Amino acid sequence: MSHHPSDIAAAFDDSPIMRQLHDLGGRRRRLEDVEIEFTGQTRVLTVSNQKGGVGKTTTTVNTAAAIAALGGRVLVIDLDPQGNASTALGIPHSADTTSIYDVLINDVSIADAVQQSPESDNLFCVPSTIHLAGAEIELVSQVAREKRLDTALREYLDGLEQPMDFVFIDCPPSLGLLTINAFSASDEVFLPIQAEYYALEGLSQLLGNVKMIQKHLNTRLRVSTILLTMFDGRTRLSQQVADEVRQHFPDEVLQTMIPRSVRVSEAPSFGQTVISYDGSSAGAIAYKEAAVEIVKRGAPRRKGRK
Ligand SMILES: Nc1ncnc2c1ncn2[C@@H]1O[C@H](COP(=O)(O)OP(=O)(O)O)[C@@H](O)[C@H]1O
Ligand SMILES: [Mg+2]
């Protein structure tokens, strides 16, 4: 039996998920009514997934921008040598820019490397430069090589007059010393999962790594937040993957799913997040909803202190 693609799309158009996806006007109005209070307690999240291209950087910059638009003070640490988060936040990051490389290797303070994003008074970024590509190897011979970001970040946060509400660390797709530094400096792991066939593959490895970090380097670390990205409501596959991820991680998965959207993928080439590039698009609305969920859920409770 064969279906014309548009027949399938039409059938799904009437499903609850498609109705939800399409009710952009209603969702926009509900977002306007949202009231958020920031506590001044800083939450530090590493955005990680060992797969490349699943939406880590996109999720980092758009969630950060959405929280900044809600009034939170947000720092993004670009820990990927590709520097895509810096680009999307409109932050210069040529080779001579003071960057996260200097923080990790040259004992430069974060205060001396941080820049404000042109997008918002509340949004800050420590950029990455091409030098970071060598850091993975240079770190090996450094004292306290797994804790250098943690130490620098604590010092920076403690010295702030106005606290940060959120720190998001954008990671490369590997478990090298850069990602280990991010995990050591964080309370939470924020895991974007692409709604596609191989989504769950490799996840047990990531969870194993998080366990290992918990045991040896950072007992605070928890996978607190999972976000389904590049969701395509017209395919059964996306829906099946979403269901399966929810079954495995009922408490961690956000209700909000990020749809596949051209506006989301275009924004970085304008040095913008989708929040400023096209704030009323489906992708921007979804990231704003995800941001509200993350803020409203609050920090996860520490183990043993229920
Ligand atoms: N919701 C989305 N809709 C369309 N394209 C997306 C979406 N999320 C990410 N992309 C695109 O997918 C690619 C990979 O995303 P990226 O965030 O760079 O992944 P990662 O950081 O995990 O490697 C990029 O080209 C990005 O623009
Ligand atoms: Mg990336």
| Residue 128 dihedral angles phi and psi, to the nearest 5° | -110, 150
In this prediction the pTM is: 0.93
In a domain, 277, yes or no: yes
CA of 30 to the centre of ligand 2 (A): 30
pLDDT value of residue 268: 97
Q: Is 58 in the pocket of ligand 1 (CB under 6 A)?
A: yes
pLDDT value of residue 302: 67
In a domain, 77, yes or no: yes
CA of 56 to the centre of ligand 2 (A): 5
In a domain, 133, yes or no: yes
CA of 94 to the centre of ligand 1 (A): 22
Q: Is 229 in the pocket of ligand 1 (CB under 6 A)?
A: yes
In a domain, 238, yes or no: yes
Say how many domains are in the chain: 1
Among 233, 65, 260, 85, residue whose Cα is nearest residue 172: 85
Residue 124 has pLDDT above 90, yes or no: yes
pLDDT value of residue 23: 86
Tokens of 16: 């609850």
Give me the mean pLDDT over the 121-149 stretch: 96
Q: What is the DSSP letter of 270?
A: G
Closest ligand 1 atom number to CA of residue 51: 22
Closest ligand 1 atom number to CA of residue 259: 1
pLDDT value of residue 20: 61
Give me the mean pLDDT over the 148-172 stretch: 98
Q: For Cα atoms 284, 286, 290, give the angle at the middle one, nearest 5 degrees.
A: 115
Residue pair 32/174 in contact (Cβ under 8 Å)? The answer is no
Domain of residue 234: give its range. 43-297
Measured distance CA(113)–CA(148) in Å, rounded = 15
Contact residues for 251 (Cβ-Cβ < 8 A; gap 6+) = none
pLDDT value of residue 304: 46
In a domain, 67, yes or no: yes
CA of 248 to the centre of ligand 1 (A): 24
Residue with the smallest CA separation from ligand 1 atom 26 is 265
Residue 222 has pLDDT above 50, yes or no: yes
pLDDT in tens, 265-286: 999 999 999 999 999 999 999 9
Q: What is the CATH number of the domain that holds 271?
A: 3.40.50.300
In a domain, 12, yes or no: no
CA of 81 to the centre of ligand 2 (A): 9
In a domain, 33, yes or no: no
Measured distance CA(149)–CA(115) in Å, rounded = 17
H-helix or E-strand containing 89?
none
Residue 9 has pLDDT above 80, yes or no: no
Q: Is 283 in the pocket of ligand 1 (CB under 6 A)?
A: yes
Amino acid at 155: E
For the CA of 228, the nearest ligand: 1
Average pLDDT, the chain: 91
Q: Is 261 in the pocket of ligand 1 (CB under 6 A)?
A: yes
Q: Which residue has the tokens 């304008």?
A: 270
Q: For Cα atoms 159, 225, 57, give the angle at the middle one, nearest 5 degrees.
A: 70
Which of 49, 54, 58, 289 to probe ligand 1 with, by most ligand atoms within 8 A of CB?
Answer: 58
In a domain, 13, yes or no: no
Largest CA distance in the chain: 66
Q: Is 41 in the pocket of ligand 1 (CB under 6 A)?
A: no
Residue with the smallest CA separation from ligand 1 atom 17 is 55
Contact residues for 164 (Cβ-Cβ < 8 A; gap 6+) = 42, 73, 74, 75, 124, 157
Helix, strand or coil for residue 226?
Answer: strand
Residue 40: exposed, middle, or buried by beta-carbon count in 10 A (0-12, 13-18, 19+)?
exposed
Q: Is 233 in the pocket of ligand 1 (CB under 6 A)?
A: no
CA of 265 to the centre of ligand 1 (A): 6
